[in-house]
Chains A and B, each alone.
Chain A
Amino acid sequence: MGGLSSALNVGKTSLLTGQKAIEVTGNNISNVNTAGYSKQVAEFSDLPSLTMNGFAVGSGAQIDQVSREHDEFLTRQIQDKSAGLGNAEAKETPLAELENIIDISETSLASKIDDFFGSWQDLSADPSSQVARESVLYSGEQLSQSFSDTVTELNDLRQNLNVTLTSEIDDLNAKFTELTSLNERIATIEATGQTALSARDSRDALVQEVAQALGTRSVESSTTGMVSLFLPNGIAVVQDTTAQTLGTTQSGDTLNVYLQMGSQKISLDSSNVGGTVGGLLEVRDEIIPGVIDDLDKLAYGLATEVNKVHSWGTGSDGVSNRNFFTQPDQQAGAASSLSVALSDYTQVAAGRSDASGDNSNALDLAALSQANGIDGTETFVEFYSNLAARVGMESQQNQLSLAGSEDSIEQLTNLRDATVGVSLEEEMINLIKYQQSFEASAKFVSTVDEMMASVLSMKG
């Protein structure tokens, strides 16, 4: 055989490939907004030529395969940067909240400390005044209330982080399972020699999401095409088709995060996980406890110094050697338990004697506001301002690194789009190109048809 009917056959392959190519283009266009989608490309090749009457004649075109554009380097870069982004994003809100708690406004704890010592100064000007004495008690109570409110707010913040952590971990477990099933699908499809196009796209996106949440690194098996995910400390959370489970246990106020490896539970903290979970753990277990420690130190130092001076003095009821605040036994927990020990204004020791005009002790107490009461190096207000500055610094650094991560992810995504993303212009041009070739093929078929008609009419 040969001749016109073989030419018709060539026309047919051409029409079919044209159709297929337009299909691929259509698919690309419809996925222009799909996150993580990689542009698909129809790969053309000519069909083997047949030798006829000594001539080698081509037998048309075919589409070998529809392949997926891929840039391993960029995919990996995006995964790596995602961990940093997840970390900074997770810390942004709690740090902002922390800044509101350790605030620098005119109603901050520092102002309460100033008010407290100020009330002693007022008392020194009028030591026999009941109002001034009650105002000292009141400002002392306000100060203790402020301390305990601040600690309560900080603990609430930790509890809220626990809620976020729990939902984050549920989400991750679902992602692990999905990853293993995608691994399986890809292995199955690719065992037949095909490329698992959309499954790979979905998996890349998923790997990126897990990296963002947990700071994992991924390794792809060159033989099976399956990926495994490893925590920064090298422990595998997903290996081919098996996934470990993350879990939480509540002990007291603390929510512990662990990784279930068979019967073994590996406890996770900010040193061995990264990403969102690592960021949340860091704020919960390091930053907030550090702030509470500092508040405890401040409350303990303040109570101890005030009590020391107060016990030198005598109340207007003639009793001396009384503490103003209930003396905390130890530094830990001092801020949350700070309370005024005096119950009555007559117990306020304004002087060293019970003489109504004796203001000597009130003067010494007021002078404590200028004394280096913390470690002998800082005043109480200075200590607080340093704490607030440290919190601010932490938050500012996080904001900077968040902006940096967002920027670099954006740059990398743009780069990825440039190589593997769908460009509508490009697809439009392809559409024209394939339409033209389809039209040409159709013309070719109708021409061959006409020629055939001419041949058939020769008889008649």
Chain B
Amino acid sequence: MKATDATTYRSLMSNISQISDTLNNLRLQSATGKKLTTASDQPTSVRPVIQNRSQTASTDRYIEVSETALDKVDTMDSQFASMEDLLVRAKEIAIAANNASVSDADKLSYASEVASLKEELLSAANAQYNGQYLFAGFSDDAVPFSSDSNSINGVAYQGDSRTQELEIGPGSRVSVNQTGSSVFLGLEDTNGDGYLQPAGIDLFEMLNSLELSLSGQDGEILDASGTALPDSAYLNGDPTTETPILLDASGSPVLDSGGNQIPLMHNGEPIRLTQQVDVSGNPVVDSVTGKPVYLHSDGTLADVDASGDPIFYDAMGDPQSLLDSSGEPVQLTQVPSLDDLMTTLETGAEQVRMSRAETGNTGTRLELAISHLEEVKLDLQESLSRYEDADLLEVYTEMTKQESALEAALTVTGRMSQMSSLDYL
């Protein structure tokens, strides 16, 4: 084949432009450090790279979320620690006071210490993290526990029983908070029906009972407002029998069809009805009758009459209303003796310890998750780098190679003009 000047120059030109193009690419790679700048550089890498970035971004978020959760858990743990301390003190008081040599005056001063412990417990129950109440369920913008002199335990709970979950990994969620209803009131949705049942100790009531017991009220039966029942409210008018009876509106005993007084007892305890609440913190009403649903202190549902009002059956098997003249349910409580309180105090402290352990476990899980996520992030970065980053050593080597090729091509082009048949004419 005959090579004309045009052929030679064309070939040289196209080679030189190819080499400069390659060199330009290599220079770009070394300047950016990336070998993948547009999709056409390596279309098969596009999906892994974008996926990888997406995963890195979500891993960063998971780490952030886990760290926030960990801070919250740490704050909760310190609250649990102070609660444990105050319950230990309550038990010490109970043990110290449960001694025949302790005078009533001493007991009273113990009682006032218990009252202040109660205040401390209340402030722990209203602890905040970041402006949000820790033990309020979802309703974390309102004070969950407030003093309520009209209730047996002395507090009213405004929170709910839903626990906040956080996602700390793909599909992996962890509950970070414990609700005030389960930690302090011992109420939990044990069967998953969306309604709360008594499942533990009401810590406020426990301290309340301790205070009352120390104040010399042990054994007395109190009504809903905490007032001791008059003698006439006991079976045969005898408070030592500790069996309260049903009274009519004028305060006289109601008699059953057999002519006997009707003891207000359920399962060996004075009848105490509380309205059931659901996990959202709303009082439960019967969907048909629209009347409140009441629970006995052992968690069983109170019987109801046709209109939905709570009743119980007397010894003759006749229904008797459990609503007083003002329509309030019967709520009787017996102040326990110090002896009886010992076990309750221990169970209550155990309840707090369990909650603390649960929180501790969450903390450990979060710490593990964070360290795992950090590892995942490193792996992701490594794999992203494999797809995206230029191997600088390789780039420089290739660059040197291309530069020598360019130099050679340029030299040859220069030589072309030196060799001409014109010189020989």
CB distance from A100 to the nearest CB of B (A): 7
Contact residues in A for B177 (Cβ distance below 8 Å): 357
How far is B177's CA from A358's CA once the two chains are assembled, in angstroms?
12
CB distance from A33 to the nearest CB of B (A): 7
Q: Which residue of B lies closest to A429 (CB)?
A: B421
B interface footprint on A329-369 (CB within 8 Å = 1, 0 otherwise): 00000000000000000000001010111111001001101
Q: Which residue of A lies closest to B57 (CB)?
A: A114
A interface footprint on B24-53 (CB within 8 Å = 1, 0 otherwise): 000000000000101111111011011101
B39 close to A357 (CB less than 8 A): no
CB distance from B363 to the nearest CB of A (A): 16
Contact residues in A for B170 (Cβ distance below 8 Å): 370
A358 close to B162 (CB less than 8 A): yes
Listed stretches A123-131, A151-159, A266-274, A303-311; interface member = A123-131
Find A126's partner among B1, B4, B68, B142 (CB 8 Å cutoff).
Answer: B68
B39 close to A388 (CB less than 8 A): yes
How far is B38's CA from A115's CA once the two chains are assembled, in angstroms?
22
Contact residues in B for A161 (Cβ distance below 8 Å): none
Supposing A102-B39, A363-B167 touch, asked if A114 and B138 sit within 8 A by C-beta, the answer is no
How far is B61's CA from A128's CA once the two chains are assembled, in angstroms?
18
Q: Which of B42, B54, B170 has the most CB of A within 10 A?
A: B54
Listed stretches A12-20, A136-144, A238-246, A409-417; interface member = A409-417
CB distance from A399 to the nearest CB of B (A): 6
Supposing A104-B46, A121-B61 touch, asked if A360 and B165 sit within 8 A by C-beta, the answer is yes
How far is B8's CA from A422's CA once the two chains are assembled, in angstroms?
12
How far is B139's CA from A127's CA once the two chains are assembled, in angstroms?
11
Scan residues 59-117 of chain B and give those whose CB is less than 8 A from a CB of chain A: 61-62, 64-65, 68-69
Does B6 belong to the interface (CB within 8 Å)?
Answer: yes
Q: Which residue of B lies closest to A398 (CB)?
A: B40
Contact residues in A for B249 (Cβ distance below 8 Å): none
How far is B77's CA from A379's CA once the two chains are assembled, in angstroms?
39
B425 close to A428 (CB less than 8 A): yes
A interface footprint on B159-186 (CB within 8 Å = 1, 0 otherwise): 0101011110011010001000000000
Does B123 belong to the interface (CB within 8 Å)?
Answer: no
How far is B142's CA from A414's CA once the two chains are assembled, in angstroms?
86
B50 close to A384 (CB less than 8 A): yes
B69 close to A395 (CB less than 8 A): no
Does B337 belong to the interface (CB within 8 Å)?
Answer: no
B6 close to A357 (CB less than 8 A): no
How far is B111's CA from A144's CA once the two chains are assembled, in angstroms?
65
Scan residues 375-431 of chain A and give those whose CB is less than 8 A from a CB of chain B: 381-382, 384-386, 388-393, 395-396, 399, 406, 410, 413-415, 417-419, 421-426, 428-429, 431
A357 close to B138 (CB less than 8 A): yes
Listed stretches A53-61, A75-83, A105-113, A202-210; interface member = A105-113
A389 close to B39 (CB less than 8 A): yes
Q: Which residue of A lies closest to B67 (CB)?
A: A125
How far is B38's CA from A100's CA once the two chains are assembled, in angstroms?
7
Main secondary structure of the interface of A (DSSP, over half): helix
Supposing A124-B166, A367-B167, A391-B39 touch, asked if A32 and B5 sit within 8 A by C-beta, the answer is yes
Contact residues in A for B425 (Cβ distance below 8 Å): 428, 431-432
Contact residues in A for B263 (Cβ distance below 8 Å): none
Does A122 belong to the interface (CB within 8 Å)?
Answer: yes
A356 close to B49 (CB less than 8 A): no
How far is B315's CA from A438's CA once the two chains are assembled, in angstroms?
152
A114 close to B58 (CB less than 8 A): yes
How far is B50's CA from A110's CA once the two chains are assembled, in angstroms?
7
B141 close to A385 (CB less than 8 A): no
Does B422 belong to the interface (CB within 8 Å)?
Answer: yes
Does B402 belong to the interface (CB within 8 Å)?
Answer: no
Does B274 belong to the interface (CB within 8 Å)?
Answer: no
B165 close to A355 (CB less than 8 A): no
A425 close to B138 (CB less than 8 A): no
Supposing A104-B46, A126-B68, A385-B46 touch, asked if A351 and B138 sit within 8 A by C-beta, the answer is yes
How far is B11's CA from A385's CA once the two chains are assembled, in angstroms?
39
How far is B160's CA from A234's CA once the two chains are assembled, in angstroms?
80
Contact residues in B for A421 (Cβ distance below 8 Å): 4, 6-7
Contact residues in A for B1 (Cβ distance below 8 Å): 414-415, 418
Does B14 belong to the interface (CB within 8 Å)?
Answer: yes
A99 close to B38 (CB less than 8 A): yes
B4 close to A381 (CB less than 8 A): no
Does A96 belong to the interface (CB within 8 Å)?
Answer: yes
B50 close to A104 (CB less than 8 A): yes
Contact residues in A for B401 (Cβ distance below 8 Å): none
Contact residues in A for B47 (Cβ distance below 8 Å): 382, 385-386, 389
Does B140 belong to the interface (CB within 8 Å)?
Answer: yes
A417 close to B7 (CB less than 8 A): yes
Does B20 belong to the interface (CB within 8 Å)?
Answer: no
Interface size range on A against B:
35 or more
Contact residues in B for A399 (Cβ distance below 8 Å): 40
Does A118 belong to the interface (CB within 8 Å)?
Answer: yes
A356 close to B50 (CB less than 8 A): no
How far is B4's CA from A117's CA once the two chains are assembled, in angstroms?
64
Supposing A356-B141, A385-B51, A392-B38 touch, asked if A124 and B4 sit within 8 A by C-beta, the answer is no
Contact residues in A for B65 (Cβ distance below 8 Å): 121-122, 124-125
Contact residues in A for B420 (Cβ distance below 8 Å): 424
CB distance from B320 to the nearest CB of A (A): 39
A428 close to B422 (CB less than 8 A): yes
A353 close to B280 (CB less than 8 A): yes
Find A104's partner among B11, B38, B139, B171 (CB 8 Å cutoff).
Answer: B38
Supposing A99-B40, A104-B39, A410-B14 touch, asked if A417 and B50 sit within 8 A by C-beta, the answer is no
Find A423's partner among B4, B49, B51 (CB 8 Å cutoff).
Answer: B4
CB distance from A108 to the nearest CB of B (A): 7
CB distance from A115 to the nearest CB of B (A): 8
Supposing A392-B43, A428-B422 touch, asked if A355 and B58 sit within 8 A by C-beta, the answer is no
How far is B139's CA from A351's CA once the two chains are assembled, in angstroms?
11
Scan residues 242-287 of chain B and give those whose CB is less than 8 A from a CB of chain A: 280
Find A121's partner among B11, B49, B58 (CB 8 Å cutoff).
Answer: B58
Q: Which residue of B lies closest to A127 (CB)?
A: B164
A357 close to B422 (CB less than 8 A): no
B interface footprint on A413-455 (CB within 8 Å = 1, 0 otherwise): 1110111011111101101100000000000000000000000
Find A369's partner among B36, B53, B58, B138 (CB 8 Å cutoff).
Answer: B58
Q: Besides A117-B58, A357-B141, 14 other CB < 8 A contacts?
A: A103-B38, A110-B50, A111-B53, A113-B54, A114-B54, A118-B61, A351-B138, A359-B166, A370-B171, A395-B38, A413-B10, A414-B3, A424-B5, A428-B425
14 examples of A-B residue contacts, CB within 8 angstroms: A102-B39, A111-B57, A125-B69, A351-B138, A353-B280, A357-B140, A363-B165, A381-B54, A392-B38, A392-B46, A414-B1, A417-B4, A418-B2, A418-B4
Chain A residues close to B by CB (< 8 Å):
32-33, 95-96, 99-100, 102-104, 106, 108, 110-111, 113-115, 117-118, 121-122, 124-128, 351, 353, 355-360, 363, 366-367, 369-370, 381-382, 384-386, 388-393, 395-396, 399, 406, 410, 413-415, 417-419, 421-426, 428-429, 431-432
Interface pairs A-B: 9 shortest CB-CB? A392-B39, A355-B138, A357-B140, A385-B50, A356-B141, A395-B40, A392-B43, A389-B46, A396-B40
